[in-house]
Amino acid sequence: MIRLYDTALSTVTPLETREAGKVSMYVCGPTVYGPPHLGHGRFSLVFDILRRYLIWSGNKVSYVSNITDIDDKILQRAAQEGRDWTEVAQEYEQVWYSAMDALGVLRPDHDPHATQYVEQMVQLIADLIEQDAAYVTPDGVYLSVDRVPGYGLLARQSLDEMLIGGGDRVILGEGNKHHPADFVLWKFAKPNEPAWPSPWGPGRPGWHTECVVMSLDLLGDGFDLHGGGMDLAFPHHENERAQAVAIGRPFAGHWMHNGFVEVGGEKMSKSLNNFTTLVDLIASHDPRAYRLVVLGSHYRSPVEVTDSTITAAENALHRLDSLARRVAEVAPAEPEPAAIAAFQQQMDNDLDTPATYAQIFGLVTEINRALDTRDEQGSAGPLVAAWRQILGAVGLEVFGQAQQAPAEILALASQRDQARAAKEWAQADSLRDEIHAAGWVAEDSPTGTQVRQA
């Protein structure tokens, strides 16, 4: 079984699953109040790669990722734009999924929405109050963190240690909370805010409650894997876990967190205004380039994602696509076993995608070399098959079919062939320049000029 770093244990351990051959995973999804940025893209790609790999390895994967469609930020945006908050949520959910589709991220098996689970959240909060783990204040219902054994597991700090520092920070809701780290489960509605009924008064759920309820509902007690960005470990995941612990339900068996996207060595974030949205990325670059960048770095390391690193990846993609075109006619074969074994071994080692990245390009060189040497063509087949299989397992698409060029480009290409046949090199070269100016690349081949998009 795959070995993965577990944030709760601070070490790499085998991913133990409840049932052999089945993996249940929950990945915290977006709050839909604006377009997603590159940080959202990274976690989506990391967990998509993991999911695909687990499936490739023969597991049945149940993948749940939520949509937070009620939240202060959504209300804020709606108020700013003078429209209904549900409209805001729906719009950005659509933006989210179209970006995910463009990145080639598989849709979740379930995508629970917070607003669909309010009743169950109210029930959970009632249970917490009954357990004496939560209490009602004038502005909402809070969870008592000191009623939770082991609180601080994911923060890697005890409650006391956490409180010593950060002293100059404003503690939210301080006046009402029993303990500074207590967090809100239910917020009473202010005038003109959306509200759902509850025994304590109309209001809306706090963020940390939805994921506990939805993950346990869809995946059951003690589901296998819970993941998200590094910044969710504390407080979000810590607080989810706290609620489950407080009502005595086994929660996630394994915790996995990915590192940040950085720009100039700093975390990409809204407050630093150094973010790029996925929408912009997809509009200006080949979306596959981002997956390639994610594959090239380890998921727990920070990664620089800038125009120049994305462009470099796009260039690297050309090399892959070139080979895909070249091997389009290579006869199918059984994948080279050694390559597949190496792939599996490195991926099982805490998802070592950088090794796989190097392997993918290593195979490109090997295959090209075999193809350059006519009599070694036989050896290319198994390598090509392995290459394709590995690409598929990590969700990286390559384009072997050159895009059909418009008639005018094809006409130029055929004129060039005539010029070349007549050895009118100047004429041939100027036709090539013309083709290039139109955004296409002309390459010689045994069957004449081939054109592909630049």
> With binding defined as CB under 7 A, does residue 183 bind RNA?
yes
Smallest CA-to-CA distance from 183 within 260, 229, 241 is with: 241
- Considering the complex, state which of residue 248 and residue 265 has its C-beta at the smaller distance from RNA: 265
- Considering the complex, state which of residue 217 and residue 444 has its C-beta at the smaller distance from RNA: 444
Choose the stretch contacting RNA; rule: CB under 7 A; options: 51-59, 142-150, 175-183, 332-340.
175-183
Taking residues 214 to 253 in sequence order and writing x for each that binds RNA by CB under 7 A, - otherwise, the string is --------------xxxxxxxxx-----------------
For residue 309, the minimal CB distance to RNA (Å) is 4
Choose the stretch contacting RNA; rule: CB under 7 A; options: 111-119, 194-202, 303-311, 335-343.
303-311
DSSP letter for 1, please.
-
Q: Tell me how far CA of residue 342 lies from CA of 55, 263, 320, 339, in angstroms.
A: 17, 33, 20, 5
Q: What DSSP string runs through 358-413?
A: HHHHHHHHHHHHHHHSGGGHHHHHHHHHHHHHHHHHTT-----SPPPPPHHHHHHH
For residue 82, the minimal CB distance to RNA (Å) is 22
For residue 91, the minimal CB distance to RNA (Å) is 17
Q: How far apart are CA 105 and CA 112, in angstroms?
A: 17
- State the burial class of residue 65 (Cβ atoms within 10 Å of its Cβ: 0-12, 13-18, 19+): buried
> With binding defined as CB under 7 A, does residue 296 bind RNA?
yes
**Which residue type is seen at 296?**
G
Indicate which single residue of 137, 326, 333, 340 sits in contact with RNA (rule: CB under 7 A).
326
Q: How far apart are CA 224 and CA 60, in angstroms?
A: 12
- Considering the complex, state which of residue 59 and residue 303 has its C-beta at the smaller distance from RNA: 303
Spatial CB neighbours of 362, under 8 Å, sequence gap ≥ 6: none
Indicate which single residue of 49, 54, 95, 313 sits in contact with RNA (rule: CB under 7 A).
313
Query: Interaction with RNA in 153-172: which residues (CB under 7 A)?
Result: 155-157, 161-162, 164-167, 169, 172
- State the burial class of residue 20 (Cβ atoms within 10 Å of its Cβ: 0-12, 13-18, 19+): exposed
For residue 365, the minimal CB distance to RNA (Å) is 4
Tokens of 76: 């804020």
- Considering the complex, state which of residue 59 and residue 257 has its C-beta at the smaller distance from RNA: 257
Q: How far apart are CA 47 and CA 255, in angstroms?
A: 12
> How many residues belong to the site for RNA (CB under 7 A)?
87
Query: Interaction with RNA in 8-47: which residues (CB under 7 A)?
Result: 28, 30-31, 38-40, 42-43
For residue 435, the minimal CB distance to RNA (Å) is 10
Query: Interaction with RNA in 342-381: which residues (CB under 7 A)?
Result: 352, 354-355, 357-358, 361-362, 364-365, 368-369, 372
Query: Interaction with RNA in 384-413: which residues (CB under 7 A)?
Result: none
Q: How far apart are CA 332 and CA 320, in angstroms?
A: 18
Indicate which single residue of 244, 381, 420, 440 sits in contact with RNA (rule: CB under 7 A).
420
For residue 303, the minimal CB distance to RNA (Å) is 4
**Which residue type is seen at 74?**
I
Choose the stretch contacting RNA; rule: CB under 7 A; options: 17-25, 188-196, 302-310, 384-392.
302-310
Choose the stretch contacting RNA; rule: CB under 7 A; options: 74-82, 115-123, 320-328, 380-388.
320-328
| 241: Cα within 13 Å, side-chain hemisphere | 23
- Considering the complex, state which of residue 223 and residue 357 has its C-beta at the smaller distance from RNA: 357
Q: Taking the alpha carbons of 268, 274, 277, 281 in that order, is the dihedral positive or negative?
A: negative
Taking residues 251 to 290 in sequence order and writing x for each that binds RNA by CB under 7 A, - otherwise, the string is -------xxxxx--xxxxx-xx------------------
- Considering the complex, state which of residue 125 and residue 293 has its C-beta at the smaller distance from RNA: 293
Query: Interaction with RNA in 94-123: which residues (CB under 7 A)?
Result: none
Q: How far apart are CA 100 and CA 36, in angstroms?
A: 10
- Considering the complex, state which of residue 138 and residue 174 has its C-beta at the smaller distance from RNA: 174
Q: How far apart are CA 238 and CA 255, in angstroms?
A: 10
Taking residues 54 to 93 in sequence order and writing x for each that binds RNA by CB under 7 A, - otherwise, the string is -------------------x--------------------
Do the Cβ atoms of 452 and 443 come closer than 8 Å? yes
> With binding defined as CB under 7 A, does residue 333 bind RNA?
no
Spatial CB neighbours of 107, under 8 Å, sequence gap ≥ 6: 97, 100
